[in-house]
Structure 1
């Protein structure tokens, strides 16, 4: 791997992935809302930031997401659903990565292996959902998984060696999860980055379009 584009590079996981790649002497381009004004909820901003990049990138890593808007919390019941909060979660977790993916074909090479990896979450698995709740977050990640799967099919037609996957990083000790980690075992961002990059490096052609965890185990849709 020679070059990588990290979307959400100021967050815990995104920054750790970027740092690890740079330590491995990969040429890393970082984009984030806090540093670059890269606002995934603004299509014009996404287009402006990505159109100025030439690439090609051997890896595009999308590390963006929210559990709930700043004014709300993940819903525990149907009665807690709010239109604006749900729309905001989908705007960031689903539409934002989809807008990035819409630029992927131009930003990855056609003549060699390239990976487009998007952070998803195990709770986005419909088959694995045994306790309910967290409606907006679960649904936004399930929708993202569908987009990733479709993107893998489309990119595979023009970029034969490309891989496009959804990845679950585990519960990572960041401000993102601090209030909700509970009894779940957490890992530091650096360990999560190492796990994810290990999975990315081991991906084979048949894995494109799939949904995998930090240990490379396939997660049910």
Structure 2
């Protein structure tokens, strides 16, 4: 779903950063490049990105912060897509007996602490003279009010914790960076390796390509201003219960 330069984004100048160069991260970087021709869009991650960054490593974050203050100013848009649901040593829990401390700690390190520490790292590079977007992918399963199925203890709790941390960040930035807008985004179910083992029951019409999800998410950000900072929104712009 390619897009022409957007009237909204055409006025934005400076740099943009997409963290997490997986399928959706790369699609967001490509879509933002099309919509905002005056923004220099960079990607960051552990591999396959323009810039090296590991959100679970304090040394990597410190080095990235120093580089960002020097080379990424003015930073106008930051979108974090990094997340951890499963890997060879980690699977979502179906019942209490499957909960393990190491899984909780790993999920919180990436899904909860990572976005907030990213905000801390890039804060010195953020533009001070115009609007700024800081967005991070959350998930509907991180909604406490919408939790009707249970399970997935670590992932649900870590995403809920991210929501609280970034909502708190939004309140602080309203005082110190009044033109910054923090947004938590539920991207829908996207056809990526993260969701692949769990999307078999989804109807084809409900499973988004990375390109379609990226287009929807940038549409949502176009409707957000600093006055809306701290919102938790789905891909269609609808609020998600906390």
2:63 to 48, 57, 64: 48
Residue number in structure 1 paired with 2:228:
207
Q: In the TM superposition, what is the alpha-carbon distance from 1:69 to its structure 2 partner?
A: 4.2
Matches for 1:1-221 after TM superposition, within 5 Å: 1-2=12-13, 3-8=15-20, 10-24=21-35, 25=37, 26-35=39-48, 36-54=51-69, 55-184=73-202, 185-221=206-242
Q: Deviations over 1:18-73 (max 9, x none)?
A: 01112231311211111344111101101202320232211111110011343121
Partner SS state of residue 102, structure 1:
helix
Q: Deviations over 1:82-123 (max 9, x none)?
A: 111111111111111111011343122122111100100010
Runs of 4+, deviation exceeding 6 Å: none
Partner SS state of residue 208, structure 2:
coil
- C-alpha contact (below 8 Å) 1:40/1:96 kept by paired residues: yes
Q: In the TM superposition, what is the alpha-carbon distance from 1:158 to its structure 2 partner?
A: 1.3
Partner SS state of residue 164, structure 1:
strand
Structure 1: state its 5+ residue gaps. Answer: none
- C-alpha contact (below 8 Å) 1:65/1:93 kept by paired residues: yes
CA distance in 1, matches of 2:196, 2:186: 17
Aligned length: 220
Normalised TM-score (structure 2): 0.87
Normalised TM-score (structure 1): 0.95
CA distance in 2, matches of 1:212, 1:117: 11
Structure 2: state its 5+ residue gaps. Answer: 1-11
